Amino acid sequence: MNAQIKTVLLTILTLSVFVIAIVELSGVSKNALFNKYGIGSSPNGLTDSEAITRDSTAAKMPKTSIEFYETMHDFGKIKDGDKVRHTYKFKNTGANPLLVSKVTVSCGCTTPSFSKEPIAPGAEGEIVVEFNSSGKKGMQEKHAIVHSNAQMDAMSIGFKAEVQ
């Protein structure tokens, strides 16, 4: 390979890396930046400082256990632009209060909400996940990671949908 072709390929590679870095750091996807680096506004409706405080509080609490009645939901076929939501119910099956500190999502099209109060032993709680299918045609599978003071401090819940 001659030197001129090597220079052109190296220039293209360098520019590609530079463009990717600019896009990632520009805030094009606020939720992606929050999930990846823990910056920006949280998709949980928490400020950055609230999320940090909740994580710290959950880490200091005694461990407990959580049991979801369902961890994967199938919305079936939905229309492009539909907003669908599902409630994931769970039970604190441990002996200590359960604090869900945050729920992180894999896409800005997915919005979680959950009770900010600790769940007593034996009591139930829920996490609601809303999916905006606008521009997401085809088979979709999204996940949310539930962070808490449970023995397994990060658990995945998710859904799938065929957007038509």
pLDDT of residue 35: 46
Q: Which class does domain 28-163 fall in?
A: mainly beta
84-137 confidence digits (pLDDT tens): 999 999 999 999 999 999 998 878 899 999 988 999 999 999 999 999 999 999
pLDDT of residue 96: 94
135-163 confidence digits (pLDDT tens): 999 999 999 999 999 999 899 999 999 99
User: How far is it, in rounded angstroms, from Cα 131 to Cα 108?
Assistant: 9
DSSP string, the chain: --HHHHHHHHHHHHHHHHHHHHHHHTTSSHHHHHHHHS-S--TTS--HHHHHHHHHHHHHSPPB-EEES-SEEEEEEE-TT-EEEEEEEEEE-SSS-B-EEEEEESSTTEEEEE--SPBPTT-EEEEEEEEE-TT--EEEEEEEEEEESBSSSEEEEEEEEEE-
Q: Where are the domains of the chain?
A: 28-163
Contact 115, 125 (CB under 8 A): yes
